[in-house]
Amino acid sequence: MGFPIYRPRRLRATENLRSMIRETTLSVTDLIYPLFVVPGKGIKKEITSLPGNYQYSVDMVMEAIDQVASLGIPAVLLFGLPSYKDATGSSAWDDKEPVQMASKAIKAKYPELVVITDACLCEYTSHGHCGVLENGCTVNNDATLPLLAKIAVSHARCGADIIAPSNMMDGYVQAMRTALDEAGFTNVAIMAYSAKFASAFYGPFRAAADSAPSKGDRKGYQMDPANVREALREVELDIEEGADIVMVKPAMAYLDVATKVHETFNRPLCVYNVSGEYAMVKAAAANGWIDEKRIVMETMLGFKRAGAKMIITYHALDVAKWLKA
């Protein structure tokens, strides 16, 4: 039955009517705020490529955590810059490094706040790759797995609720799940970066985390942006190995992948609204070319519409404030 009997505009006439039939909603509880913690004291340094976001020393990060808690954002994702780097990234499983110390501090003050920790080696290795190198620029997958397991246990020991491995090694979820269980951390969850693409959208993050590879690239372990069915295979493998939450990263250019993952698998889906996506919006808004609030909120709804249950975003503080306004 079509026009003139059915007129869709009838139910768009007022805000109350529109809200009554709205199919997708956004909540503060959908948000995860990423934070960068660094060695030292008294440090709060704005990240030039991520305006409004900062590198914090552990003693200063609680300033951001207090704001997160007051806004009702349920979770943070911690990235660390270490005090030392070496070929194997051994500082990544050092309990005295920034991620571990920040986790302890956060859980001491806000035990209910969900602490998610990034578990990778790129920030910690002297070469900037996500694993043990062989022949100069090839990551040895199987030699890397025990190191990732060490990171998971270290983070759990220091209070992490969810481990978020972003390395894209084959078998990484199984290695970390096994290590966590053997160490008694059966209730610590894994949020797998299951479909992480070798993307140009990561540029600002790599500057913020000092994690760009010294030579070569990550195309040998991160996914080809052209592939959807491969992403589904990766997600399936991670679920079989014990992933509690699966992720698609980046988000904006990969919503077709996110939708297929949501429709195919019975696991909560997280999307990562990555640094390049954030930086483009901030740059355009700074030049007066777009309405930042409307663009960001529309983008967040797009993530939810695609099936995301959780959204990691550098916009989290602003989105939470706008939702509460």
Q: Please give the full DSSP string across 12-79, using - where no structure is assigned.
A: GSSHHHHHHT------GGGEEEEEEEESSSS-EEE-TTSTT-EEEEHHHHHHHHHHHHHHT--EEEEE
In a domain, 8, yes or no: no
C-alpha span between 15 and 245 (Å, rounded): 35
In a domain, 13, yes or no: no
In a domain, 18, yes or no: no
Mean pLDDT across the chain, nearest whole number? 93
CB neighbours of residue 1 within 10 Å: 4
What are the structure tokens assigned to 92, written together?
Answer: 């990544």
Phi, psi of 62 (to 5 degrees): -65, -20
Q: Which residues contact 266 (CB under 8 A, 6 or more apart)?
A: none
196 assigned to active site: yes
Query: What domain range includes position 223?
Result: 24-324
pLDDT at 218: 57
Averaged pLDDT in 10-residue chunks for the chain of 325 residues: 91 96 97 97 95 96 98 97 89 96 98 96 81 76 92 98 90 96 98 94 74 57 91 97 97 98 98 97 97 98 98 98 94
Phi, psi of 240 (to 5 degrees): -60, -30
β-strands 310-313, 269-273 pairing:
parallel
321 assigned to active site: no
Among the options 150, 196, 282, 304, which is catalytic?
196
pLDDT at 127: 74
pLDDT at 277: 97
C-alpha span between 307 and 268 (Å, rounded): 9
β-strands 114-119, 132-134 pairing:
unpaired
pLDDT at 71: 98
- Total structural domains in the chain? 1
Q: Which percentage of the chain shows pLDDT scores above 70?
A: 94
Among the options 85, 150, 249, 282, which is catalytic?
249
In a domain, 14, yes or no: no
Q: Looking at residue 265, which CATH number applies to its domain?
A: 3.20.20.70
pLDDT at 209: 54
In a domain, 12, yes or no: no
pLDDT at 131: 74
In a domain, 1, yes or no: no
β-strands 75-80, 31-38 pairing:
parallel
pLDDT digits (tens, 9 = 90+) for 280-322: 999 999 999 999 999 999 999 999 999 999 999 999 999 999 9
Give how far the C-alpha of residue 49 lies from the chain's centroid of Cα atoms, to the nearest Å. Answer: 17
pLDDT at 226: 97
pLDDT at 166: 84
pLDDT at 217: 57
DSSP 170-204: TTHHHHHHHHHHHTT-TT-EEEEEEEEB--GGGHH
In a domain, 16, yes or no: no
SS3 string, 89-143, reads CHHHHCCCCHHHHHHHHHHHHCCCCEEEEEECCCCCECCCCCCEEECCCEEEHHH
In a domain, 19, yes or no: no
β-strands 269-273, 75-80 pairing:
unpaired
272 DSSP assignment: E
pLDDT at 132: 76
C-alpha span between 258 and 263 (Å, rounded): 9
Contact 153, 123 (CB under 8 A): no
